[in-house]
Structure 1
Amino acid sequence: MGVPVLAETSRIPFPQTPPPAPLKKPKVFLGQPRDIVPPACPGQFPGTPPVTDMDYGGIPLWINRLLGEPSVLSLQGRMDRAWFRASNPQTCPEQCDCPIQWETSLYCDHRALENIPEGLPQRTQYLFLQGNNISSLSYSALANITNLRWLIIDNNQLKSDKLELNSLQNQTQLRYFFANRNYLTSVPGGLPAGLKQLRLANNHISSISPGAFQNLQNLTLLLLQGNRLQTMTGDDVKGLVGLNLLDVSGNLFSAVPRHLPPSVQQLYLSNNSFSGLHEGSFEGFHNLKYLRLSHCGLQSEGIHPQAFNHSSLVELDLSYNKLTTIPRFPTTLQYLYLEANRIQEFNVTSFCREVGPLSYSRMKILRLDGNKLTYHQLPPDWVYCLRVLQRIYI
C-alpha cells in the first residue's frame, strides 16, 4: 500500500484525551530563532530555499518502490546518454532516455522540445516532459500508451486553448498529472477518474471548467497556488469527496472560499488578501488539522473570537500579518506561528479560558519572534496554561 503524500507535520500524532501534564519549563529562544520547525511549503519564512523550477509544486513527492515507481525524476547531468542506449536494448525515442533500471520510465525532460515525441513505447508508465517548450497536449500524442501512471509536464508553454478536452480520457491508469508553471488559464476538464494528484501551481488560472472535478472522487491532493482565482464555489469543487490537501495560496481571494470539501485536512490560504475572518469562515471543516494563513493582511479587529474554534486543528500559521493581539485558539492546538506581526501583549485567555488539572493548552511550539513583545512581558501564570510547551520563540 502506498504512502500518502502529506506535509511533514501530518505525521504528528494528535491526542484525543490527553492525561494531566506536569509543569515543565519550556525552552525559550530569544531573538532570531535558529532551531525552528520548518514550514510545510518553501518560501514561507525567511531563510528557506527559493522555489525552483524543479519543486513540483512545493509539496514533496513520496515514492512507492513496491510499485516500481522511479526514485529519480530527471536524469540531467547524471550520466552520459550513450550509456543508457548501450545498456537498454528496448526501443526508445531519439529525444528521450530509457534507463534499464526503470524500464517503464521515459525521460524526455529539458530537451527544448516543442512537441511530445512521436512513437512513445507502449510500456511507458512514467513520462517526464518537464523543462521543455511544449504548448499543446492532444489525444493523438498519447494514443499509443494506455498504462500511463505519471505525466509530469511542468515548466512548459502549455495553454488551455491547446489542451484537447479528451486528451487524457483514455489514460485510465493515470494517477499523477503535474502541469505546474505553464500558461493554463482554466482548470482542464475531462481528467481521468483515477487521478490522485493534480498539481497546477503557478499558471494563469482564473476559472475552473464546469464539472472539472465531478468524477475525481479519488483525488487527494490539489495544488492551485500562484494563480488568479477570485472565487471557488461548491459547484466548482463538486466531486472532490476524498481531497486531503488543498493549496490555493497566492491567488486573488478576498475571503475564505465557502463550501470547500469537508474532507480537507490541510488547507493553505497564504498570500491572499483577506479583509477578516468571521465565525463561520471555516464552518464544515470537521477534519481540518493544518491551516496556513500567513501574508494575508489580517488584522486583530477583523478576526472573530470564534474563528478558530475547531478542536481538530493541530497547526496554525498566522505569521507575517498585522495582528496586534493574540486571537483565541482551542486548547487542542499544538503548533502556532505568530512571528512577524505587531503583537504587543500576551493574554493567557487566548490559550486557556480556565486552568485546571485537565484544563490547559496542548501547545508544543509557539513562535512570537518579530513582534513588539519581550519575554519579560509574559504574565507569571502563563506556564500553568502552556504547561506542555516545548519551545517558545520571542
Structure 2
Amino acid sequence: MVFKAATILLLCSALFLHIECQIYVYQNAGLTEIPEDIPLNVKQINLRNNSITNIDPNSFSKFTELTHLDLVRNKISTINDSAFEALVNLKTLMLFRNELEEIPALPISTLEYLELGRNKIGTINDGAFEALVNLKTLFLTSNELEEIPALPISTLEILIFQFNKISTVNDGAFEALVNLKTLDLLGNELENIPVLSISSLQYLRLDSNKISTINDGAFEALVNLKTLDLSWNELENIPVLSISTLEYLRLDSNKISTINDGAFEALVNLKTLDLSWNELEEIPVLSISTLEELNLEYNKISTISDVCDVGFYGVNCEEECGRCKDDLCSDDDGHCLDGCQIWFLGDLCKEEIALPSLDGSHVFLKRMNESAVAITWTQDPGIPDKHAEYYGYTVAYAEGSDKHAEYYGYTVAYAQGSGDFTDGPSVPHDPALMTQTLIVANVHSHNEYRFEVKVYREMSTEREFGVKSNTVIIESSVGDLMSEIGQWNCCWASVSYKKVCAKNIHIPTTNAFARSVRYVIDIAIEAILPFFISEVCDVGFYGVNCEEECGRCKDDLCSSDDGHCSDGCQIWFLGDLCKEEIALPSLDGSHVFLKRMNESAVAITWTQDPGIPDKHAEYYGYTVAYAEGSGDFIDGPSVPHNASIKNRIMIVANIQSYNDYRFNVLMYRKMDGEQEYGLPSATTRIESGSNYVNWELVAVGVSVFIIITAIIIIIIVLLSRRKQAVSGDSEQNKDNVCTKDSDSVAQASVLRDNSAGQPAPVTEPSPYEPLETDERRDLSDPYTALEGVYQQIDDRHLP
C-alpha cells in the first residue's frame, strides 16, 4: 500500500506538476492534535493509535475531498458540533475506542459506515442520526447504552449493539429500518424479545441476554429471517415457531426441558438446529425433511426410541402408516413427511376420496324443444359433504341411426349409425341438492340419441370415472314435421337462397333436382330448428366442408365450427387455435466469447437468438454449461431470454486458475413445468492460468519505471549544473511525501471454552485486537461466518 501511494504521488507530479496525496497516515506518533501539514486534496486520513483528545471546528474544514477518516484508539472526548461540516464526500468515519460520552453532531449526508464502538456513550439523543440519509452500517458495540430509542435511518442494513447494558427497546424503535438485514443484540440485559416488525431482516442475534420466554407471534413479521441465535438465555420451553424461511436456529445453553407439539413444523427450510446444553430428557419430534445438522449433546436424554420399518409407526411400531408418498411417515405420530398419495387426505393420509358409482341409478329425459333436452339424475348420496369438492358428474351421449334421412334427399354428414359415447358437459357434485338437471342443446331432432351420466373423482388435475348410470334413449321427433314440409313447395330465388314456399306440392327426394333443392330445405328447417343440419368433421378438421386443419389441440379435438380447442393446447403451442408454436431453439453455429476478469473469474458473452418473437420471450432462456479439464459438461446458472437486448454477459466466479475449462451456452424452451434444450453453441475454452500475466499491470509498472528513471536523470543533471554554477552551495531540496504505515487489524471473536464441559459465558470482545489463539475458525459454522462478515466490514475500509 505504501508503494501504491508513492506511485500515485509520482505520477501526479509528472503529469500535473503538483503533488496530489491520496492517503495520509500518521500512526503511533503520540499526536495530541490534528497535524497542520496534511495535503488539502487527500482522500484518506489515518491517525489511529495517537493521543488526540479534541476535534476543533477547523480540524478538518479544508478536506472537502476526504472519503475515509480513521481516528481509532485515541483519547477523544470532545468533538465540536461543526467539526465535520466540511466533509461533504465522507463515507467512512471510525471513532472506535475513544472516550466519547455522547454521539457527536454528524451533518454528513454521504456517510455510509460509522464505527462508534468501545466508547462511553450512555444515550442516543433525539435526531442524532437524522442527517445520515445514506448510512448502511452502524457499530455501537461495548458502550453503556441502556435503551434503544426510535432510529430514523431507513437505509441502514447492519446494526450492531453488542455488549451494552440494554434492557429496554422502545416501541417503534426499528419501524423505520425498512432495509435492515442484520440486527445484533448479543450480550445485553434483555428479558423479553422486542417487537420486531422488520420484514427485510435476515440475521438476528439475541444470545447472551436474560430472555426466559418466547411470546406467541414474536417472529411473525420476520418473513425473510434465515438465522436466529437465542443461545445463552434462560428459556425453559419452546413454543411453535412460524418462520418458514429459517435455515439456522441456535437454542443451546438454555434450560429447555419442554418443546411444544409442532414447534418446528413450520420450519420447512431449516438446515441446522442446535439444542445442546439443555435439560431435554427425550428426543423431540422433528418432522423437518430439510434438516442437515442436529446437535443434542449435553442434555439428559437416556433412551432413543426404535426406528420403525418403512410403513409403520408408534409404540413398538405397531401402527400402519397411511397412504403417504413413498410410504414415509414419522416414527412417532405417523405424520406423512412428504404429503399424501393421490386420492387420500388428512394428516395421516387415511381419508380416501373413494371411487364413486352411479351403478343402477336412473337418468330421466324431458324434451324442452326440438333442439334441447333436460337430463335429470340423482346424485350419489354416499359422498361425504367435506369431500364434495373432489367429485362431479359428466353427461355422455351418442347419436343413434339416421332413420329419417330420406326426407332430406341427401345424407346428413354426421349420421354415422350407432355411434360411440362422447363425454359432454360436466358439473361438480353439490351436497345441497339431491338431484341435478342439465340442459343439453343442439340435439338434432332428426336423430336418435342415447344418454348416460358418469360420476368422477378429481384431484391434482387427475380425473377418474366410476361406474356410470343406466342408458336412456330419446327418439327422433322429425317425422311429422318432415311430412308437413314434404307438402310444401319450397324453391329458391336468386343467389341469396331466399325461400318461397307453398302447400300441397311434394318435394322430390330421388331425382336430379334433389341436389339443388338441398339449400332451400336447409334454410327452411333452420328457421324452425336451430342448428338442425350441422356437418360433423373428422377428427383434426373443421370449417366449411371440413377443409381447415385443426391446430395442436389436446387429443386433436377442436370445434367443427371455428377450430377452437375445447381442452386447450398440446405443450409447446399457444393461441385460440393452438397454431402458435414455441419452437425448439438452437444456438448451433453461434460463438461464445470469454474474457478473463482476474485469476478466478471469467466473463462469458453470447448473442441471443434474434428469431425469438418478443411475445414469446417468457418461454425461452439460456444456461451456461461448463466442464473442468476433460470432464463432462455440467449445467450452470440460467437466465431468461431478454427481448430488449442483443447480447448477454454472465460472470462465472470461483474458476481455479490451475485448471483448464470448457464453456458453452445452451438455449431452452420452458412451458408448464417442462424444459427442453436445443442445440448448444460452439464450445470455447480457457487454458490454465498458471502462466497468466496481467499485461496491464506490467505496462503500468514499466511506465512508472521509465518515468522514475527520467526524473532521476533530470534531477542529477540539474544538480550537476547548479553545483558548477554555485560553488559551495550544499543545501538540498526536500520533498513532501505522504507515506502510509500498514496496520493489520483483526476483530476479536466471541470464543467459548468447552474444555471444562459446560461452555464458558460470553465475554466482551475487542474488535480491533488480534485473536490470540491457535484454534482454526470453522468457516462452515454460520455464526462464525457472520463474525467474519463483521471483520470484513471493518477491514475493507482500512487504508
Residue of structure 1 aligned with 2:275, choices 365, 368, 384: 368
TM-score, length-scaled by structure 1: 0.66
RMSD: 2.6
Query: Which sections of structure 2, spanning at least 5 residues, go unmatched?
Result: 13-19, 297-799
| Alpha carbons of structure 1 residues 205 and 378: separation in structure 2 relative to 1, 3 Å | same
| Alpha carbons of structure 1 residues 328 and 191: separation in structure 2 relative to 1, 3 Å | farther
Query: Residues 230-265 of structure 1, C-alpha deviation per residue, up to 9 Å, x if partnerless?
Result: 23322xx23x12111111222222133432233222
Which residue number corresponds to residue 190 of structure 2? 274
Which residue number corresponds to residue 253 of structure 2? 340
Which residue number corresponds to residue 315 of structure 1? 227
Query: Residues 301-330 of structure 1, C-alpha deviation per residue, up to 9 Å, x if partnerless?
Result: xx2122122322111111111112224322
- The structure number with the bigger radius of gyration is 2
Structure ranking higher on relative contact order (CA contacts 8 Å, 6+ apart): 1
Number of corresponding residues? 284
Q: Could you tell me how far 1:208 is from its partner in structure 2?
A: 2.7
* Distance across 2 between alignment mates of 1:211 and 1:255: 19
Which residue number corresponds to residue 148 of structure 1? 66
Q: Could you tell me how far 1:222 is from its partner in structure 2?
A: 0.9
Tell me, what secondary structure is at the counterpart of 2:169? coil
Q: Residue 120 of structure 1 contacts residue 145 of structure 1 at CA under 8 Å; is this kept in 2?
A: no
Q: Could you tell me how far 1:191 is from its partner in structure 2?
A: 2.8
| Alpha carbons of structure 1 residues 84 and 327: separation in structure 2 relative to 1, 3 Å | same
* Distance across 2 between alignment mates of 1:364 and 1:205: 39
| Alpha carbons of structure 1 residues 89 and 174: separation in structure 2 relative to 1, 3 Å | same
* Distance across 2 between alignment mates of 1:348 and 1:176: 49
Which residue number corresponds to residue 171 of structure 1? 87
Which residue number corresponds to residue 660 of structure 2? none
Q: Could you tell me how far 1:373 is from its partner in structure 2?
A: 3.6
* Distance across 1 between alignment mates of 2:97 and 2:273: 34
Tell me, what secondary structure is at the counterpart of 1:267? strand
| Alpha carbons of structure 1 residues 272 and 87: separation in structure 2 relative to 1, 3 Å | closer
Q: Could you tell me how far 1:219 is from its partner in structure 2?
A: 0.5
* Distance across 2 between alignment mates of 1:132 and 1:320: 37
Which residue number corresponds to residue 628 of structure 2? none
Which structure: greater helix fraction? 2
* Distance across 2 between alignment mates of 1:298 and 1:84: 51
Which residue number corresponds to residue 113 of structure 2? 197
| Alpha carbons of structure 1 residues 122 and 87: separation in structure 2 relative to 1, 3 Å | closer
* Distance across 1 between alignment mates of 2:171 and 2:136: 19
Query: Residues 324-361 of structure 1, C-alpha deviation per residue, up to 9 Å, x if partnerless?
Result: 222432232111111211223444521116xxxxxx52
Tell me, what secondary structure is at the counterpart of 1:349? coil
Which AA in structure 2 matches 1:323?
A: L
Residue of structure 2 aligned with 1:349, choices 241, 244, 262: 262
Which residue number corresponds to residue 393 of structure 1? 295
Residue of structure 2 aligned with 1:112, choices 30, 36, 45: 30
After superposition, where does 1:161-240 map in structure 2 within 5 Å? 162-234=78-150, 237-238=151-152, 240=153
Which AA in structure 2 matches 1:292?
A: R
Q: Residue 165 of structure 1 contacts residue 189 of structure 1 at CA under 8 Å; is this kept in 2?
A: yes
Q: Residue 188 of structure 1 contacts residue 208 of structure 1 at CA under 8 Å; is this kept in 2?
A: no
Q: Residue 270 of structure 1 contacts residue 292 of structure 1 at CA under 8 Å; is this kept in 2?
A: yes
* Distance across 1 between alignment mates of 2:119 and 2:11: 36
* Distance across 1 between alignment mates of 2:104 and 2:45: 19
Which residue number corresponds to residue 168 of structure 2? 255
Residue of structure 2 aligned with 1:157, choices 62, 66, 75: 75
Q: Residue 90 of structure 2 contacts residue 108 of structure 2 at CA under 8 Å; is this kept in 1?
A: yes
* Distance across 2 between alignment mates of 1:88 and 1:189: 34
* Distance across 2 between alignment mates of 1:219 and 1:244: 8
Which residue number corresponds to residue 283 of structure 2? 378
| Alpha carbons of structure 1 residues 347 and 232: separation in structure 2 relative to 1, 3 Å | closer
| Alpha carbons of structure 1 residues 217 and 84: separation in structure 2 relative to 1, 3 Å | closer
* Distance across 1 between alignment mates of 2:256 and 2:226: 22
* Distance across 2 between alignment mates of 1:202 and 1:327: 37
Q: Could you tell me how far 1:84 is from its partner in structure 2?
A: 8.5
Which AA in structure 2 matches 1:369?
A: S
Q: Could you tell me how far 1:193 is from its partner in structure 2?
A: 0.7
Tell me, what secondary structure is at the counterpart of 2:83? coil
Q: Residue 262 of structure 1 contacts residue 286 of structure 1 at CA under 8 Å; is this kept in 2?
A: no
Q: Residue 321 of structure 1 contacts residue 340 of structure 1 at CA under 8 Å; is this kept in 2?
A: yes
Which AA in structure 2 matches 1:144?
A: K
Tell me, what secondary structure is at the counterpart of 2:55? coil
**Fraction of identical pairs, as percent:** 26
| Alpha carbons of structure 1 residues 267 and 258: separation in structure 2 relative to 1, 3 Å | farther
Which AA in structure 2 matches 1:312?
A: N
Query: Residues 254-295 of structure 1, C-alpha deviation per residue, up to 9 Å, x if partnerless?
Result: 133432233222111121112223xxx334312122111011
Query: Residues 63-118 of structure 1, C-alpha deviation per residue, up to 9 Å, x if partnerless?
Result: xxxxxxxxx6xx7xxx9xxx998996699xxxxxxxxxx95111112222211211
* Distance across 1 between alignment mates of 2:7 and 2:294: 57
| Alpha carbons of structure 1 residues 84 and 171: separation in structure 2 relative to 1, 3 Å | closer
| Alpha carbons of structure 1 residues 147 and 327: separation in structure 2 relative to 1, 3 Å | farther
Q: Residue 5 of structure 2 contacts residue 21 of structure 2 at CA under 8 Å; is this kept in 1?
A: no
Which residue number corresponds to residue 6 of structure 1? none
* Distance across 2 between alignment mates of 1:110 and 1:348: 60
Q: Residue 189 of structure 1 contacts residue 210 of structure 1 at CA under 8 Å; is this kept in 2?
A: no
Tell me, what secondary structure is at the counterpart of 2:217? coil
1:133 aligned to 2:61?
Answer: no
Q: Residue 120 of structure 1 contacts residue 144 of structure 1 at CA under 8 Å; is this kept in 2?
A: no
Q: Residue 119 of structure 1 contacts residue 144 of structure 1 at CA under 8 Å; is this kept in 2?
A: no
Tell me, what secondary structure is at the counterpart of 2:238? coil
* Distance across 1 between alignment mates of 2:168 and 2:128: 23
Which AA in structure 2 matches 1:367?
A: D
1:325 aligned to 2:243?
Answer: no
* Distance across 1 between alignment mates of 2:239 and 2:143: 29
Which AA in structure 2 matches 1:388?
A: T
Which residue number corresponds to residue 357 of structure 1? none
Q: Could you tell me how far 1:387 is from its partner in structure 2?
A: 0.9
Q: Residue 191 of structure 1 contacts residue 212 of structure 1 at CA under 8 Å; is this kept in 2?
A: no
Q: Residue 274 of structure 1 contacts residue 297 of structure 1 at CA under 8 Å; is this kept in 2?
A: yes
* Distance across 1 between alignment mates of 2:5 and 2:167: 51
Q: Residue 262 of structure 1 contacts residue 284 of structure 1 at CA under 8 Å; is this kept in 2?
A: no
1:305 aligned to 2:216?
Answer: yes
TM-score, length-scaled by structure 2: 0.34
Which residue number corresponds to residue 246 of structure 1? 159
Q: Residue 42 of structure 2 contacts residue 66 of structure 2 at CA under 8 Å; is this kept in 1?
A: yes
Which residue number corresponds to residue 743 of structure 2? none
